[in-house]
Structure 1
Amino acid sequence: MDVMPGVERGNGGIAPGVENLLLHFTPFEDDWGKLPVIVSGEGCYVKDDRGRSYIDGLAGLFTTQVGHGRGELAEAAARQMRELSFFPNWSFQHPRSLELAARLAGLAPGDLATTFFVNSGSEAVETVIKLARQYHRANGEPGRYKFISRKVAYHGTTMGALSVTGLPAFKAPFEPLPGGFVHVPNTQQDPEGAADAIEEAIEFGPPECVAAVILEPVQNAGGCLVPPEGYWQRVREICDKYGVLLVSDAVICAFGRLGEWFGIERFGVVPDMISFAKGITSGYLPMGGVVVSERVRKALQQNAPMFFHGSTFGGHPASAAVALENLAIIEREGLLENVHNLEGYFGEELSRMAEGHPIVADVRGMGFFWAVEVRPEKADGTPLEGDEYRKYFKGVLSRKLFEGGLICRFDDKDEPVIQYSPALVADREVLSKIAEITDSALTELERQLGYRG
């Protein structure tokens, strides 16, 4: 879970509305009245309601690719709202969604050239599930309904997307969930056999019941799990062998996070569908979607009366206008190139920092998407559990990172990790500061755990 330390306001006061707002994935045991209130942002930095500035080392939530405070995006939304504030993509079209669909067709790999717009990553994954099932039905194989994904992977919160998600604790409060969802080891759990595990799951399916395999290019939950060389090529071969669709869930990894438009290009594979959200608008307005291959589009158009799915706000005119301007900024300012040019520097800064910390177990990632894994134990090897674990990792470490002026993520869906995902406009100074603040926080954690005198 994400954890942020408490912050005091004047005279111990709390922000108005605290008792009225139900927060997302925030423990009830936290003092919500002391949680940070972020009021403004500029570039890679944000400010709270006390005027303190922080590096936004998570880009909001893997989202603000072009940074905060971009007037061009606000102006694009305002222009569109003055022209056409809203009209749906149900039996009608409007210029911005047409332009954006054409733009994405030019950016997506291979023959992925048709986009269905929604409003979020969860909705995008939900759309993938429906598209895959209806595709196979239209293709004469209605028995294909099962989906294979990876353990620990997070794919969203709607009931279908949650079923694809490989995190039992996230699913338990809402069971029973829909059936037909199978989870296999991720590339961290079984680096050598992870692809073979997918084939075994398809064969056990049996194959004529399996609709799709859905994977992130680099798995987020668990801490930026970069797949071994050849993994994606092998999965593509397996899916082709059994007639199973391959889906790249690029909700996090698209629009420059890995230095490419859709992330999967880093691995030289063309999937049958790509889900996306977050970075397409840099979070300035909600938008998500799925871009599909020609064979998926043709099967539906030729053999089904329609795609039986829709969203009132999918392809919203203002969101589409912001997305178009956002993509133009990424291209105009060479932000993909910036990520490629600086990913090595970012990794080196984190690795150099980690060399001085025995509590660090691993540094991994690519692009502007990195994680530092930490050992959940004291200097004498005693495991940290329960209240002690929360005290040191969700207390000391998270607090010191925040007090140092860095907003990032401490996550423990698997092994505990610190995750970083800065805006694509970040320069060497910002990346070095991220490593410097982390260095200081880890030093204090190690001091309290007995690693240092």
Structure 2
Amino acid sequence: MTTALSATAARHLLLNMTPNGSLGDDGVFVVRSGDGPYVHDEDGTRYIDGLSGLYCCQLGYSYADEIAEAAGKQLRELCFSPLWSASAHPAAIELAERLAGIVPAGIEHTFFSSGGAEAVETAWKIARRFHTLRGEPGRTKAISRRGAYHGLTLGALSFTDDPGLIEPYGPPAVETRFVSNTNRNGLPPEMANDSMFTAHLLAEVESVILAEGPETIAMLIAEPVQNRGGCITPPAGYWPGLRALADRYGFLLVADEVITGFGRLGEWFGGDRYDARPDIVTVAKGITAGYAPMGATLVGARVAEVINRPGAVLNHGYTFGGHPLSAAIALRTLEIMERDKVLDNVRGLQGGLASGMAALADLPIVADIRGAGFFHAVELVGDQEDGGFSDAARKALVVDLIPRRLREAGLLARVYNRAAPLLQIAPPLISDRPLLDRIVEIIADTLDEASQALAR
């Protein structure tokens, strides 16, 4: 049903990643309020937020009073001061120190921004500055992985190989070479062996480096678990292998933790789960649990030593980067997560969630299930011989039945309508076992119905 607010949104609001001119009779889904792991629409209908508000709301929606207390204290003390021209403020300084205590070893510095794409842009500019100051200005290329997504600003967009996202805006700003991601679905059986798969992947990366010329590569960027394409986990040895290649050929290794950071995989940083030792880490989303916008680029000591040389200028910045309000909220968020043992909750329940998701594999519409922590995806198989979906089946199931039935059952999840359709969940990190079981139950019922429809 289209409400007054939904109609107003259609007239005046340009939504992200949305065909705004063809929303149809249903209009815009308006979320009015939230509590715990739930949100409520305009009619008061309650839904499980199975996507944590786009991977942001690690704490769900129950800590508003504590966050408001921290925000009010900060606003009464100092509403704004930029991190600019040898000037800073206590909240940003304290947050940078706090982050240095939980990030991977060797990373000690923070450059604040307002979101994930800005954090990635910053990583690129720091990498270029680092190499130029070291006398290697020819390192102007990046390596990214196929199907990856690192943001929509023109620089960050360069690290994505999706023509639908890139082509409307002309040639990419950064020359980027793409290598395989770590999705094994559809690969030969021998790739089920971690050592063989890792060796295959790293050999491909090295061949690209050598073909382009090691002296031209500035950085390689990758997510510990790749979001786009459906929670694609790495094989054992993959991240240590990337570290070895970075050391051998002199480029910087960047871990994009915008989604996987701050507990999503049961660790402060998802890369810790896979022995990643990056030079730079990008974060956003969960750093404030969605209570305020913030991004950050966390920089290793050996990189900072170069860009902080006397006389060197890091001529890059954002007016609202490290905003006092956002910094104060981030500090309180980290305090709550530690006090309430939120990471322990993920570690204790992730096995049960993984088992529940794995049990969906018997459904005919399921091609693959993958993920880690509170971050899982189901890749769907269609009615075509190659596993793809015909236009009719895609429209009936991926566009209509699956997202509609999920919502009717009270679950907000992500359904990708792409070449390989996916259903993805990333519930709040405060979710308990009964709630996670209910999420799996709703998905099972929905995909069972979709399987039956596919068979007809």
Task: State if a TM-score over 0.5 links the two structures.
Answer: yes
Q: Which residue among 373, 376, 379 is the counterpart of 1:370?
A: 376
- 8 Å CA contact retained: 1:15, 1:33: no
Query: Whole-Å Cα distance in 1 between the matches of residues 15 and 112 of structure 2?
Result: 26
Query: Whole-Å Cα distance in 1 between the matches of residues 394 and 59 of structure 2?
Result: 36
Query: Whole-Å Cα distance in 2 between the matches of residues 382 and 94 of structure 1?
Result: 55
- 8 Å CA contact retained: 1:59, 1:422: yes
2:75 — aligned with what? 81
2:254 — aligned with what? 247
Query: Whole-Å Cα distance in 2 between the matches of residues 94 and 252 of structure 1?
Result: 27
Q: Which amino acid aligns with 1:119?
A: S
Q: How many residues align?
A: 441
Q: Which amino acid aligns with 2:413?
A: C
1:69 — aligned with what? 62
1:7-37: CA deviation from partner (whole Å, max 9, x where unpaired): x146x99443321001111124332753310
Q: Which amino acid aligns with 1:198?
A: V
Query: Whole-Å Cα distance in 2 between the matches of residues 166 and 154 of structure 1?
Result: 8
3-state SS, counterpart of residue 34 of structure 1:
coil
Report percent identity of matched pairs: 44
Query: Whole-Å Cα distance in 2 between the matches of residues 32 and 73 of structure 1?
Result: 37
1:391 — aligned with what? 396
1:187 — aligned with what? 182
Q: CA deviation at 1:322?
A: 0.2
CA gap 1:113/1:9 in 2 versus in 1, 3 angstroms: same
1:137 — aligned with what? 132
Do residues 277 (structure 1) and 270 (structure 2) align? Answer: no
Query: Whole-Å Cα distance in 1 between the matches of residues 160 and 34 of structure 2?
Result: 32
Q: CA deviation at 1:283?
A: 1.1
Q: CA deviation at 1:180?
A: 1.6
Q: CA deviation at 1:384?
A: 2.4
- 8 Å CA contact retained: 1:152, 1:414: no
The farther-off stretch of 256-265 and 168-177 is 168-177
- 8 Å CA contact retained: 2:2, 2:26: no
Do residues 112 (structure 1) and 107 (structure 2) align? Answer: yes
1:423 — aligned with what? 428
Q: Which residue among 18, 21, 46 is the counterpart of 1:26?
A: 18
- 8 Å CA contact retained: 2:388, 2:419: no
Q: Which residue among 136, 145, 159 is the counterpart of 1:164?
A: 159
Query: Whole-Å Cα distance in 1 between the matches of residues 259 and 334 of structure 2?
Result: 16
2:353 — aligned with what? 346
The ranges of structure 1 where at least 4 consecutive aligned residues each deviate by more than 4 angstroms after the TM superposition are 380-383
Q: Which amino acid aligns with 1:389?
A: R
Q: CA deviation at 1:447?
A: 2.3
- 8 Å CA contact retained: 2:95, 2:330: yes
1:404 — aligned with what? 409
CA gap 1:20/1:228 in 2 versus in 1, 3 angstroms: same
**TM (normalized to structure 1)?**
0.94
Query: Whole-Å Cα distance in 2 between the matches of residues 262 and 166 of structure 1?
Result: 25
Query: Whole-Å Cα distance in 2 between the matches of residues 14 and 125 of structure 1?
Result: 33
3-state SS, counterpart of residue 442 of structure 1:
helix
Query: Whole-Å Cα distance in 1 between the matches of residues 163 and 432 of structure 2?
Result: 38
**TM (normalized to structure 2)?**
0.93
Q: Which residue among 171, 175, 181 is the counterpart of 1:176?
A: 171
Q: CA deviation at 1:99?
A: 0.2
Q: Which residue among 56, 59, 74 is the counterpart of 2:52?
A: 59
Query: Whole-Å Cα distance in 2 between the matches of residues 426 and 373 of structure 1?
Result: 23
Q: Which residue among 286, 290, 295 is the counterpart of 1:288?
A: 295
Q: Which amino acid aligns with 1:369?
A: F
Query: Whole-Å Cα distance in 2 between the matches of residues 336 and 223 of structure 1?
Result: 22
1:210 — aligned with what? 217
Query: Whole-Å Cα distance in 2 between the matches of residues 401 and 438 of structure 1?
Result: 7
- 8 Å CA contact retained: 1:152, 1:413: no
Structure 1: 5+ residue stretches without partners: 1-7
- 8 Å CA contact retained: 2:254, 2:280: yes
- 8 Å CA contact retained: 2:155, 2:174: no
1:196 — aligned with what? 203
3-state SS, counterpart of residue 47 of structure 2:
strand
Q: CA deviation at 1:205?
A: 1.7
Q: Which amino acid aligns with 1:424?
A: L
Q: CA deviation at 1:269?
A: 2.4
Structure 2: 5+ residue stretches without partners: 192-196
Q: CA deviation at 1:284?
A: 0.7
1:36 — aligned with what? 29
3-state SS, counterpart of residue 34 of structure 2:
strand
CA gap 1:211/1:197 in 2 versus in 1, 3 angstroms: same
3-state SS, counterpart of residue 16 of structure 1:
helix
Do residues 434 (structure 1) and 439 (structure 2) align? Answer: yes
1:142-175: CA deviation from partner (whole Å, max 9, x where unpaired): 1111100000000000001000123222111111
CA gap 1:383/1:211 in 2 versus in 1, 3 angstroms: closer
CA gap 1:196/1:413 in 2 versus in 1, 3 angstroms: farther
Q: CA deviation at 1:347?
A: 0.7
3-state SS, counterpart of residue 151 of structure 2:
coil
Q: CA deviation at 1:131?
A: 0.3
Query: Whole-Å Cα distance in 2 between the matches of residues 197 and 156 of structure 1?
Result: 25
CA gap 1:149/1:42 in 2 versus in 1, 3 angstroms: same
**RMSD of the TM alignment (CA)?**
1.8
- 8 Å CA contact retained: 2:239, 2:277: no
CA gap 1:381/1:269 in 2 versus in 1, 3 angstroms: closer
Query: Whole-Å Cα distance in 2 between the matches of residues 13 and 327 of structure 1?
Result: 34
2:337 — aligned with what? 330
Q: CA deviation at 1:390?
A: 2.0
1:301-324: CA deviation from partner (whole Å, max 9, x where unpaired): 116521110000000000000000
